[in-house]
Every structure is written in structure tokens, then in C-alpha cells.
Amino acid sequence: MPEQEPRWPGRFSGPDVAPDYPDEEPPPWADLLRPGSGPPRDDPPAPVGRAAAGALRAAARRRRRWLILTAALVVVAGGLTAAITLRGGPAPAPVTPDGLITTFQPGELRTVPSACDTVPAGTVQHYLPGQVKEASPLPIDGSAGSACDWTVDHPPVYRLVELNLLAYAPSGLASGNGSATQAATDAYSQTLQTLQDPPKHSAEPKATVSTLTGLGNEAFSATQVFRRGGAVTDVATVVVRYHNVVVSVTLNGLQHSNRGSYGPVSMSGLSAAALAFAQAAAVALR
């Protein structure tokens, strides 16, 4: 059985970076539900040499919060829209008079499979040789979202694979007709844009992006090199949209460490592994 850990999946981690799973940190949407009532923070000061890594963790949290907030708001807006259309009839109409779609359409998924179960053990062992630690973070939105992490930390090898599956619901916040597929398309496009053009003062470098064909309805791969605090980490990302589901795989490989002996890393090897995990997850959605 995979190890259960009550935490949110991190974006960047390694032996030189404290794991981005603060137990005392509430879900990213908690402040929206209870303004000003979040638990007090009492984080210990970062050790010398980890100040730059803190910037990476902050950037990761911002991106993760944005993605989860978007998904949460999409689901809430979809529920409100459906509730409005229920007035005056026993069931919501597929399309409102103004053309807004409020129900799931053929081919769209309401739930996703367990992320850890979508990748065959043989694939994991092939791309992550050695002793692998598997963990299932808490779901983002019940059965509509699932995540799984695989970690190998045996010098000179450090790898962290993060797989996330998220099914979007119809929403008035989505562009176009507000369908579940349109909501997922919006999220996919925003992720692509953020990788290509990170926000000003972001700790994330611009990614080199390539379009992928034959995978889902649309897909892309991206590579980045993070240099912080003397450590160098190569990151390969693959994002796939299949109807209203977005699959994202992020693979961190420690290229150089200022503490311990890690590396080298092959970026092409990281990209191939991220692609294999994404393909397995996409197949499980069919």
C-alpha cells in the first residue's frame, strides 16, 4: 500500500531544499472560506545556504495555489450555475438560453482514477531505478482530483516525480460556453503561458516548450534549469488535456548539489520519463 501523507504535492524539491510539505499550512483555498482565520505560522529560520531555495518554494506554492484555487472556483461556479437552472424544472437543462453549458457532455469525466494506480510498476522501476518511495497526497477535490509522488534519494541519484490528475466541471468562470472541457482548456493554456513567460520577479526560469502530438486532445513538454543556493536542478514537465481532464507530470532531477554527491542528470532522460508517466495516466482515462 502506498504511504499516505497529509500534504500538498510540491513543485520543486531535493536534498538541498527543505520538503515543501509544511504540515501547519492550510489548503490554499482556506483563506477564501475563512478570511483572517488561518492558523498562525511559526516557521523556523532557514539554515544558511537555503535562502535561495526558499524563493523556489515560494514560487512553487504560488503556482500550486493558483491551480487549486482555479479548480475550486470552477467547481463552485459550476454548482451554482446548475442550481440556478434547477429552479423551474426537475433537472438542469444541458444549455441555458444564453448558450452556457451547465452539465457534463459526452466524453467528459466526473472523476479520475487513483494517480498512483495509473502508472505500471514496470514503468516506475524502469525510469526510477533503486528504492522508490511512493506517496499519495490528500486529494485536491475529492474524486475529481488525484495525485501521486515517487521519490528516489540515493546519491548520486535524486529524482522526484509528481503526477496530478484533475477533472474540471462546467463553470460560468470558464471562457466560451463554460463547459467542463472549456474549463480544462483554460487551465491548460494558463499553465503553458506561465511556463513560457513566468510572472515578473518569479523564481522560475522560462521553460523551453515543445508541442506533443498523439497524446490526449493536446499536450506539451517543457524543460527548465533551476540554479539556487549552489544547487542545480533540471526539471522536465509534461501536461496533457484529455477532454475536461488535465494531467500534469513534473520530474525533478538534482544535477549538482552543494551538499552531498549528486548528479549528473540527463535532461533528455528526464523528459522521456515524464512523457512515459503522462502517457500511462492518459491511457487510464480512456
Q: What one-letter code names the amino acid at 57?
A: R
Q: Of 201 and 275, which is predicted with more confidence?
A: 275
What mean pLDDT is predicted for residues 156-183? 96
Give me the mean pLDDT over the 235-253 stretch.
98
Q: How much is the pLDDT for 216? A: 97
Closest CA to 240 of 282, 270, 191: 282
Average pLDDT value over all residues in the chain: 76
State the amino acid at position 262 in one-letter form. Y
β-strand pairing of 3-5 with 133-137 = parallel
> Using 50, 70 and 90 to split pLDDT, how confident is the model at 140?
low
For residues 229 and 178, the model is more confident at: 178
- Nearest 5°: phi and psi at 181? -65, -40
Residue 14: the pLDDT is 56
Average pLDDT, stretch 208-236? Answer: 96
The three grid cell numbers given for residue 5, joined into one nine-digit string = 501523507
* pLDDT score, position 259: 77
Q: Which pLDDT band, with edges at 50, 70 and 90, does 234 fall under?
A: very high
**Domain of 103?**
3-284
Judge whether residue 53 has pLDDT over 50: no
Output helix, strand, coil percentages for the chain, rounded to the nearest 5.
30, 25, 45
Residue 185: per-residue pLDDT: 98
Q: What is the mean pLDDT of residues 244-264?
A: 93
CA dist 101 and 82 (Å) reads 9
User: Which residues touch 97 (CB under 8 Å, ≥6 apart)?
Assistant: none
Instruction: Label residues 1-10 b or e (16+ Cβ within 10 Å = b).
Output: eeeebebbbb
Structural domain total, the chain: 1
- What is the mean predicted confidence (pLDDT) over 242-256? 97
The stretch 246-254 carries a mean pLDDT of 97
**Overall average pLDDT of the 209-218 stretch:** 98
With H, G, I as helix, E, B as strand and everything else as coil, classify residue 134.
Answer: strand
Q: Mean pLDDT throughout 170-180?
A: 95
User: Of all helices (H) and strands (E), which one includes residue 55?
Assistant: helix 51-86
Which value, to the nearest 10 degrees, does the dihedral of the CA atoms of residues 96, 98, 104, 105 take? 110
Segment 63-85, tens digit of pLDDT: 444 444 444 444 444 443 333 33
* pTM of structure: 0.71
